[in-house]
Amino acid sequence: MIRVFRSEWRKLRRPTLFAGTLGIVLGLSVLITALLFVLLDSEGGNGPRGRVITRDTLALPSGLYLGFTNFAGLLGTIALSVFAAQTALEYTNGTLRNLLVRQPKRLVLLGGKYVAMCSFALLTVIVSAIGSIGISLLLAPTKDINTDAWFTQSSFELLYSNVGNVYLSAIAYGTVGMAVGIILRSPISSISISLAWILILEGILSFTVDGLDKWLPGQLMSLIAESSGGDISYTYALAGSAIYLAIFGGIATTLFVKRDVAN
């Protein structure tokens, strides 16, 4: 599997994907975090969906990574897109047949690719965290925010746990992307259908039907990143996501192993 992992990384490190994705992740995490501080006293709010995040909230231990947490949803959609594209492109390019000739054990090939993409997702999470925390440290003094609580043991512990949860959420999204990529075998269809479901349909459904959000995979996966979800507990979100991923992953793995490679 290590050979598959290293082989996959030769593709992942191509400049357009590697530098492009990490550049976007860094740029957006810095921008979203910066808006949190720049719009601090704005009447329109400075958080997601016009939420007002006060100076006092930012001064809490969690203030250090609040911008990073706000960016978690986008990290998930980026992971989903990368996983889906990297998987489905093997079908559209016709390169899967080359890979299977060199590594006929299909489960090993799939596993190696998955682990490689999970490591890529980890990199995006780390870069995002560095960018977001860096800009927070830079802007906090300019907005008279007391950052004493940011440098405490509890703040660091929360930070590690938060980064871990954002990573879990990102690979959950990525797993869905990879599964849909295998099922549909087309990067454009895989990404557009997945994002349309998660970002649009689930949004509409969760707003229109009371209590439905606890059954929707996208909602549950995003709650993992937030570490808690109000009415829905973190454990419930984790377990619910795991069930969905087991179903998606099971179907995709079966198809990948059993299906004829005819293109």
* Maximum Cα interatomic distance, the chain, rounded to a whole number of Å: 62
Residue from 102, 160, 200, 243 binding another protein (CB under 8 A): 102
For residue 149, give the 3-state DSSP assignment: helix
Q: Judged by CB under 8 A, does residue 97 bind another protein? A: yes
Question: x/- binding map, residues 185-224, to another protein, per CB under 8 A?
Answer: ----------------------------------------
When the beta carbons of 102 and 143 are compared against another protein, the nearer one is 102
Contact range with another protein by CB under 8 A, out of 2-10, 28-36, 74-82, 195-203? 2-10
Choose, by CB under 8 A, the member of 35, 47, 55, 103 that binds another protein: 103
Which SS3 state, helix, strand or coil, does residue 112 take?
Answer: helix
Residue-wise DSSP of 173-219: HHHHHHHHHHHH--HHHHHHHHHIIIIIIHHHHHHHSTTGGGG-HHH
Q: Is 82 in the site for another protein (CB under 8 A)?
A: no
From the CB of 99, what's the least distance to another protein, in Å? 6
Which of the ranges 23-31, 91-99, 163-171, 224-232 carries the binding residues for another protein, by CB under 8 A? 91-99
Least Å from the CB of residue 256 to another protein? 13
Contact window for another protein (CB under 8 A) among 5-13, 29-37, 117-125, 187-195: 5-13
Does 119 engage in binding with another protein (CB under 8 A)?
no
Residues 6+ apart with CB under 8 A from 27: 131
Distance separating alpha carbons of residues 236 and 223, to the nearest angstrom: 9
User: Does residue 93 bind another protein (CB under 8 A)?
Assistant: yes
**Using CA atoms, how far apart are residues 82 and 252, in angstroms rounded to an integer?**
17
Cβ–Cβ < 8 Å for 35, 71: no
Q: Which residues pair with 229 in a beta bridge?
A: 232
- Beta-carbon contacts of residue 21 (< 8 Å; ≥ 6 apart): 78, 82, 120, 124
Is residue 260 close enough to count as binding another protein by CB under 8 A? yes
Q: Which residues bind another protein (CB under 8 A)?
A: 3-4, 6-7, 10-11, 14, 16-17, 89, 93-95, 97-105, 260-262
